[in-house]
Amino acid sequence: MSIFVDESTKVVVQGLTGGQGRFHGLRNRDYGTRVVAGVTPGKGGQDVDGIPVFDTMAEAVAATGADASFVSVPPRFAQAAILEAAASVGFIVCITEGIPAQDEANFYNVLKRDYSGVRLLGPNCPGIISPGKCNIGITSGDIALAGGPVGIVSRSGTLTYQALHELSQQGIGQTTCVGIGGDPVPGTSFIDCLAAFQADPETKAVMMIGEIGGSEEERAAEYIATQMDKPVVAYVAGVTAPPGRKMGHAGAIVSGSHGTAQGKMAALDKAGVHVAQNPTAAGEMMVELVRSLG
């Protein structure tokens, strides 16, 4: 199985008429994802390579039966797009980078208050791919291998791609790969994904890729120790990052003794996670682990 999305998922691309929306939306469609519509206010009635464009999400969903949205709009429009999507579909992927922190905090809380059944993935994330079934976002389908048995969840886009590619090269397939993004207020957490992988009978092992900043990895470690019986391999990026300096993602900042890679790795190790010292070692660990499962 896969988590969150599958071959039946119908996707609306918000921003399909823009450069990024068109490029990635068509790539997703060509991968096999059921991209059924686009939304750009004022451009309803047009189409992009045969995909109909509507003025609003409500119109697009009414016409196509879509149940997911891919938000690819400039930062200043992202909050409005996400909240518009939440009124019509149950799953939203937002790849937009550079959304103001105040906007992120606001739509996060509005979603929790008014749309508790809606899942937001991102923002500032590579998206989600269930190999051979559905790809929403910017991940290249060429590096993913269908069939499982590994589920992947990652804060880092680049390391997501590396994990997919290295496992695929060794013939180890993936059920679903989820990039949750590295912003301070992600819509979907490590624990959300770990719980879904734990419940998925086809996911036999999980790879988790964290990074410095925040305390989500420590929370995940506690969850793994108490709620999971599937093996987990983890890598935490940022071992050499200097304290007090933001590194890459908006959420990747260490303050004092909080959010360090060493602290996260220690918590994961204590929880029984197989902790790797670099991304390639994490892939090698997972290959050995899967092969040992028989």
8-37: average pLDDT: 98
The tens digit of pLDDT for each residue in 181-207 reads: 988 899 999 999 999 999 999 999 999
What pTM was computed for the model? 0.94
Residue 256 has pLDDT above 70, yes or no: no
User: How high is the mean pLDDT of the chain?
Assistant: 93
Tell me what the mean pLDDT of segment 35-44 comes to: 98
pLDDT of residue 64: 98
pLDDT at 249: 53
pLDDT in tens, 19-31: 999 999 999 999 9
Instruction: For the chain, give every domain's residue range.
Output: 10-121, 140-293
The yes-or-no answer to whether 10-121 and 140-293 have a common fold is yes
Whether residue 284 contacts residue 277, with contact meaning beta carbons closer than 8 Å, is answered with no
pLDDT of 252 > 50? The answer is no
The CATH number fitting domain 140-293, selected from 3.40.50.880, 3.40.50.261, 3.40.50.300, 3.50.50.60: 3.40.50.261
160-177 residues labelled b (16+ CB within 10 A) or e (exposed): bbbbbbbbbeeebbbbbb
pLDDT digit string, tens, across residues 50-84: 999 999 999 999 999 999 999 999 999 999 999 99
Query: Which entry of 24, 165, 249, 274 is annotated as an active-site residue?
Result: 249
Higher pLDDT, residue 258 or 154: 154
Cα–Cα distance for residue pair 76/84, rounded to 1 Å: 14
Fold classification of 10-121 (topology level):
Rossmann fold (3.40.50)
Confidence of residue 214 (pLDDT cuts 50, 70, 90): confident
Q: Is 249 a catalytic residue?
A: yes
Task: Please state the separation of Cα 278 from the chain's center in Å.
Answer: 21
| Torsions phi, psi for 44 (to 5 deg) | -60, 140
Tokens of 105: 């905090």
- Confidence at 131, pLDDT banded by 50, 70, 90: very high
pLDDT of 258 > 90? The answer is no
In the predicted structure, residue 257 carries a pLDDT above the cut 60: no
* Confidence band of 260 (pLDDT split at 50, 70, 90): confident
